[in-house]
């Protein structure tokens, strides 16, 4: 993985933090999934919470950190994302409506500086919606930086 690819992946993951993105990780011979909890530097942080079996029952949190990629430590981490082509008709209508409503406000308004503000706002809402639904709008799947969610391979299903 090149440094440019690592940067692209880190930036993309940062925008997805609040949406519970699932990560596939290979560490040597071990393979497992975790929910991304945070990012520190170039380290992905997962949070595992469990109940302690002691006299004082409490919740204990453990944080584990993994680099996105390390050939030395034999670690590879990739998010699970949906391809844009997997968007259902209902989802596509919802996404387009969100974006187009703001775009229409922009063109009707008439004031040029406001148009730019409306357009950037609609773009932001559109990207948030894509992140919330785990869509790959940056081509990470094709670049081998993410794993495509399929019907058979969907860590987001309960």
Angle, to 10 degrees, between the axis of helix 89-109 and the axis of helix 112-132?
170
pLDDT tens-digit map of 101-110: 666 665 555 5
State pTM to two decimals: 0.78
**Higher-confidence position of 101 and 76:** 76
**Higher-confidence position of 76 and 42:** 76
pLDDT above 60 for 73 = yes
Query: How far is it, in rounded angstroms, from Cα 131 to Cα 135?
Result: 6
pLDDT above 90 for 79 = yes
pLDDT above 50 for 118 = no
Q: Name, in order, each residue with C-beta under 8 angstroms of 89's C-beta and a sequence gap of 6 or more.
A: none
- % the chain with pLDDT above 90: 37
Q: Which residue has the tokens 């949906």?
A: 82
Q: Do 146 and 136 meet the contact criterion of CB atoms below 8 Å apart? A: yes
pLDDT above 90 for 158 = no
Token pair of 92 as six digits: 């596509």
pLDDT value of residue 57: 52
pLDDT value of residue 64: 77
Query: How far is it, in rounded angstroms, from Cα 140 to Cα 144?
Result: 6
pLDDT value of residue 112: 45
């Amino acid at each position: 993985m090149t440094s440019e690819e690592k940067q692209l992946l880190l930036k993309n993951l940062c925008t997805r933090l609040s949406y519970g993105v699932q990560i596939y990780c290979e560490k040597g011979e071990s393979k497992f999934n975790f929910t991304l909890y945070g990012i520190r530097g170039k380290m992905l942080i997962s949070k595992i919470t469990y109940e302690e079996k002691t006299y004082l029952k409490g919740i204990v949190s453990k944080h584990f950190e993994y680099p996105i990629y390390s050939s030395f430590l034999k670690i590879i981490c990739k998010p699970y994302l949906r391809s844009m082509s997997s968007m259902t008709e209902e989802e596509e209508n919802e996404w387009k409506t969100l974006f187009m409503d703001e775009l229409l406000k922009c063109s009707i308004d008439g004031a040029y500086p406001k148009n730019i503000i409306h357009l950037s706002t609609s773009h932001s809402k559109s990207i948030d919606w894509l992140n919330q639904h785990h869509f790959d709008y940056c081509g990470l799947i094709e670049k081998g930086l993410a794993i495509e969610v399929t019907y058979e391979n969907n860590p987001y299903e309960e």
